[in-house]
Chain A
Amino acid sequence: MAYQQSVMDKMREIAQDCQGSQTSYCNARCPMHTDATKYIQQISENKLEDAIVTIREKLFLPGSLGRVCAHPCETECRRNTEYGQPLSIAALKRYAADKADKEELWDVSKKPSSGKKTAVIGAGPAGAQAAIDLAKEGHAVTVYEKLPVVGGMMRVGIPEYRLPAAVIDFEYKYLSKLGIELKLGVEVGKDVTFDSLISEHDAVVLANGAHKSFVPSVAGMEGVEGITNAVDFLKETSLGENNFEVKGDVIVIGGGDVSMDCARTAARRGARSVTTVSLECLEELPASAHEQDGAIEEGVAFACGWCAEEVISEGGRIKAVTFVECTSCFDAQGNFAPTFGDDRRTIECATLIFATGQIVLDVTEGALEQGGGGRYVADKQTLATKLDKVFVAGDNAGGTIVVEAMALGRKAAISVNRFLAGQDISANRDFENEYDFKSQLDIPLPKDVEDLPRKHTTTIPVVERNNFSECDLGFDDETALAESSRCLKCECKECMRECIMLNDFTQYPGALFKKFLEDGDIEPIVAYSCNMCDQCTLVCPKEFKFAELFGAIRKDMVKANNGQSPIPGHKAINMHQLLGFSKLFTVRIKGGGK
Chain B
Amino acid sequence: MSRKAFLPGCALPSYSPENVSKTIMYLKSVYPDLSVIQKCCGKPTKAVGQAELFTQRFNGLVEDIKYCGADEVIIACQSCMNTLKECKDYETRSLWALFPEIGLPKEVLGKAKDSDVVFSVQDSCSVRGNTDIHDGIRWILTELGYKYEESPRTRENTRCCGFGGMVGAANPDVAMRVMKRRVDDFTTPYIVTYCAACRQSMLKAGGKAWHILDLVWGDVVTSNTVPPEDVLASPVKAWKNRYRSKGLIKKAYR
Contacts and interface: CB of A to CB of B under 8 A. Distances in A.
A592 B3 contact: yes
Interface in B205-254: 239, 242-243, 246, 249-250, 253
Contact of B125 (A529, A535, A567): A535
Contact of A528 (B34, B51, B167): B167
B36 interface: yes
User: Which among A532, A553, A556 has the highest number of chain B CB atoms within 10 Å?
Assistant: A532
A155 interface: no
Contacts of A569: 169-170, 172
A542 to B, nearest CB: 19
Interface in A513-540: 525, 528-535, 538
B2 interface: no
Given A535-B160, A563-B53, A585-B242, A573 B34 contact: no
A265 to B, nearest CB: 57
A560 to B, nearest CB: 10
Contacts of A553: 49
B167 A589 contact: no
Interface stretch (B62-70, B103-111, B142-150): B62-70
A470 to B, nearest CB: 48
A554 B34 contact: no
A469 to B, nearest CB: 52
Interface string A572-594: 11001101110011111111110
Interface residues of A, number: 46
A192 B32 CA distance: 108
Contact of A573 (B28, B44, B51, B171): B44
Given A535-B159, A565-B50, A591 B170 contact: no
A501 B172 CA distance: 11
A551 interface: yes
B11 to A, nearest CB: 10
A556 B165 CA distance: 16
Contacts of A587: 36-39, 246, 249-250
Nearest to A529: B171
A532 B3 contact: no
Interface residues of B, number: 59
A585 B40 CA distance: 10
A501 B175 CA distance: 9
A557 interface: yes
Nearest to B48: A565
Contact of A531 (B57, B68, B162, B169): B162
Contact of B33 (A529, A550, A554, A592): A592
B189 interface: no
A414 to B, nearest CB: 43
A551 B164 CA distance: 12
Given A500-B177, A586-B246, A587-B246, A529 B51 contact: no
A527 B152 CA distance: 28
A570 interface: yes
Contact of A592 (B32, B49, B175): B32
A580 B39 contact: yes
A528 B166 contact: yes
B35 A531 contact: no
B45 A577 contact: yes
Contacts of A501: 167, 171, 174, 178
A504 interface: yes
Contact of B39 (A533, A570, A581): A581
A586 B4 CA distance: 18
Contacts of B239: 579, 585
A174 B33 CA distance: 88
A14 B239 CA distance: 43
Contacts of A324: none
A555 interface: yes
A563 B40 contact: no
A12 to B, nearest CB: 21
Given A500-B178, A572-B169, A587-B250, A531 B39 contact: no
A547 interface: yes
B174 A585 contact: no
A550 B165 CA distance: 10
B48 A554 contact: yes
A584 B246 CA distance: 9
A593 B68 CA distance: 11
Interface in A20-73: none
B59 to A, nearest CB: 11
A488 to B, nearest CB: 20
Interface string B58-93: 001000100111000000000000000000000000
- From B42, B45, B157, name the one whose CB has the most chain A CB atoms within 10 angstroms: B45
A558 B53 CA distance: 11
Nearest to A565: B48
Contact of A580 (B3, B37, B40, B157): B40
Given A558-B49, A581-B57, A591 B36 contact: yes
A573 B165 contact: no
List 7 A-B pairs, minimum CB-CB distance, nearest first.
A554-B49, A592-B33, A580-B40, A533-B160, A531-B164, A569-B169, A528-B170
Interface of B: 3-5, 10, 28, 31-40, 42, 44-45, 47-53, 57, 60, 64, 67-69, 125-126, 128, 157, 159-160, 162-167, 169-172, 174-175, 177-178, 181, 239, 242-243, 246, 249-250, 253
Given A501-B167, A533-B164, 10 more contacts: A500-B178, A525-B170, A535-B160, A554-B47, A567-B170, A573-B44, A587-B39, A587-B249, A590-B35, A592-B69
28 contacts: A530-B165, A531-B163, A531-B175, A531-B178, A533-B164, A534-B128, A538-B157, A557-B49, A563-B50, A565-B48, A567-B48, A569-B169, A570-B169, A579-B239, A580-B10, A580-B39, A581-B40, A586-B39, A586-B40, A586-B246, A587-B36, A587-B39, A588-B68, A589-B36, A591-B3, A591-B32, A591-B36, A591-B253
